[in-house]
Amino acid sequence: MRRYIRFVPNILSTCRLGIACYFPFSPEENWIWLIIAGGCSDFLDGWVARRWQVATWQGGLLDGIADKAFILSVLITLVCGGRFPAWWIPALIARDLTVACAAGYALYNRLWKSFRRMEARWSGKLATGGQFLFLILVVLLPFLPPIVLFLAVLLSLYAAYDYGSLFVRALRERAEHEVHFP
């Protein structure tokens, strides 16, 4: 059985990518169910990977890509549907932008090991939870209470700071361990 379980997390992440591609073309009455399905697949892929000890960094990367694609697809669709202003998107995805910038920097400077040390953190899980709560409430409520938006933004900004600090710390540790020759 374990032989087959190892594929489940990546299948769930791939399904979330499929939902992300379908979401902009789906009828509005399906939006809430697609967001719930995306949130459940996000929770379950990580839970199965940890529970059955089949987590890999490649699976984590696929999960992260699926998360970002899903959130962006839904946010852009909701903005195009007039549900909230587009200028909130960068604040809502501050953590995602920080991680993407760190990955780009690490890749460009051949510091991939420093980036790979950035494991999932509670701040990121809270930011993701805030994003999903925000998405659900935007779809369900005709007039979204501003506190929900501010909460999602604050969680995202806190996670951006946390991940950015972690990456800077990893770069400093790497620099301290390098031997410099004159």
- What pLDDT, on a 0 to 100 scale, did the predictor assign at position 130? 95
180 and 111: one domain? yes
Mean pLDDT by 10 residues, the chain (182 residues): 83 97 98 98 93 87 92 96 92 93 86 68 93 95 87 96 89 72 48
Same domain, 78 and 89: no
* CA–CA dist 152, 132 (Å, integer): 9
Q: Are residues 175 and 91 in the same domain?
A: yes
Is residue 56 located within the same domain as residue 140? no
The domain in which residue 71 lies consists of 1-83
Tokens 């760190």, residue located: 102
Pair (95, 133) in one structural domain: yes
Same domain, 119 and 133: yes
Is the same domain home to 3 and 41? yes
Would you state the pLDDT for residue 5? Answer: 85
**179 in helix, strand or coil?**
coil
**Residue 111 shares a structural domain with residue 151:** yes
Specify whether 7 is located in the same domain as 48: yes
Q: Is 179 left (phi over 0), alpha (psi -120 to 50) or beta?
A: beta
* Residues 57, 143 share a domain: no
With b for 16 or more beta-carbon neighbours within 10 A and e for fewer, the 69-81 pattern comes to bbbebbbebbbee
What is the pTM assigned to this prediction? 0.88
Q: Which of 52, 43, 177 minimizes the C-alpha distance to 117?
A: 177
